[in-house]
Amino acid sequence: MSSPPPAPIPGPRDADREANVVDEHDSPAVLDYGWWASNGPTGGYLTSLAIDVACGATGISSSWARSVDLHVIRLAAAGPYRTTVSVVAGPTRINLATVTFAQGEPFAISTVYFGPSRGASGAGDAKPPAVLPPEVYAEMTVGVRSPPVMQQFSYRPTTPADGQSAKDGWDLVWVRALGPTPPGRVGILRLVDCWYPPNHMRVVRKHLAGGAQLTEPPAVNLLAASVHLPGAEDAYTTDEPILVANRLDTITEGHYYERAEAWSLSGQPLLTATLLRRNEQTPPIVRP
């Protein structure tokens, strides 16, 4: 005999929410140029806004946000934007919210997956990189020509003078917010894309390791990001340094495939992410 279906998990606004709900509104704020990296807002900034908007539309706590996906359609401007939210509620009230960002035309679409607690937390097999405490490393001076997002944080890179990383192939840096940052998962998301792209830092490490000529890599634009938020709720604090780890996995036909991680000061995993960027300095190849 088959098991009965699980009982629905009560969720916010459960009684009056239909299976599909659409919410449209003009956002009261603008895209903040202070969260720009190169020529567009960071993936961390857009995904954090997506969770904020989705929580506002559904009444669900951001502590239920388990993952968020982002696809960038075109470059955005630092100005007012409009959002449209569609929500799908499953039989156990695990919700999927899709947020469309538009400035006249859509420029990005993000999907947030919400899931309630299902029991106790436990350690997995992932281990934080073997780096020293942040105060051991010198704080980097951020120049005025650095991307605007870098003015939001202080940075303590861990790469030594010989370019050898504590985690082979990864760029590791302690990061701390300088000003007020949204609490919880929303604030931690803003660490995504806040540091130099991995293809830039790979050039720096090669230069340090072997004296290779230091040249500026091609400019790249963010196309997509997929972020998972595996930490326990009490781990998501922006009041202490966070270890950010980035890696360039491969470059395929001008597309850069990257991975990112963030770890708390106590060694808890806060986020894992994959990012996709595109070389914007080479025209597309049109095949017959």
Tell me the CATH number at 87. Answer: 2.40.160.210
Q: Summarize pLDDT for 49-74 with one digit per residue, the tens.
A: 999 999 988 889 999 999 999 999 99
Q: Is the pLDDT of residue 19 over 60?
A: no
Q: Domain range holding 84?
A: 20-115+139-279
State the Cα–Cα distance between residues 144 and 24, nearest whole angstrom: 38
State the Cα–Cα distance between residues 227 and 250, nearest whole angstrom: 19
State the Cα–Cα distance between residues 33 and 151, nearest whole angstrom: 11
* pLDDT at residue 201 in the model: 61
Q: Is the pLDDT of residue 163 over 60?
A: no
Q: Is residue 1 part of a domain?
A: no
* pLDDT at residue 206 in the model: 61
* pLDDT at residue 2 in the model: 42
Q: Is residue 231 part of a domain?
A: yes
Q: Is residue 179 part of a domain?
A: yes
Q: Cite the DSSP H helix spans in 105-255.
A: 184-189, 198-210
Q: Is residue 10 part of a domain?
A: no
Q: Cite the DSSP H helix spans in 161-228.
A: 184-189, 198-210
* pLDDT at residue 208 in the model: 57
Q: Please list, residue by residue across 87-122, b when 16 or more beta carbons sit within 10 angstroms of its beta carbon and e when fewer do.
A: bebeeebbbebbbbbbbeeebbbbbbbbbbeeeeee
Count of residues in the chain = 288
Confidence of residue 42 (pLDDT cuts 50, 70, 90): very high
For residue 154, what is the enclosing H or E element? strand 153-157
| Residue scoring higher pLDDT (200 or 47) | 47
Q: Is residue 79 part of a domain?
A: yes
Phi, psi of 135 (to 5 degrees): -70, -15
Tokens of 195: 């540091």
Confidence of residue 1 (pLDDT cuts 50, 70, 90): very low
Q: Summarize pLDDT for 167-215 with one digit per residue, the tens.
A: 777 889 999 999 888 889 999 999 999 988 767 666 665 645 666 665 6
| Residue scoring higher pLDDT (258 or 284) | 258
- Which amino acid, one-letter code, is at 25? H
Q: Is residue 129 part of a domain?
A: no
Q: How many domains would you assign to the chain?
A: 1
R_g over Cα of the chain: 20
Q: Is the pLDDT of residue 125 over 80?
A: no
Q: Is residue 287 part of a domain?
A: no
| Residue scoring higher pLDDT (112 or 4) | 112
Instruction: Name residue, tokens 């709900």.
Output: 21
| Residue scoring higher pLDDT (238 or 240) | 240
Phi, psi of 63 (to 5 degrees): -70, -15
Q: Is residue 257 part of a domain?
A: yes
What sign results for the dihedral spanned by CA atoms 186, 188, 193, 196? positive
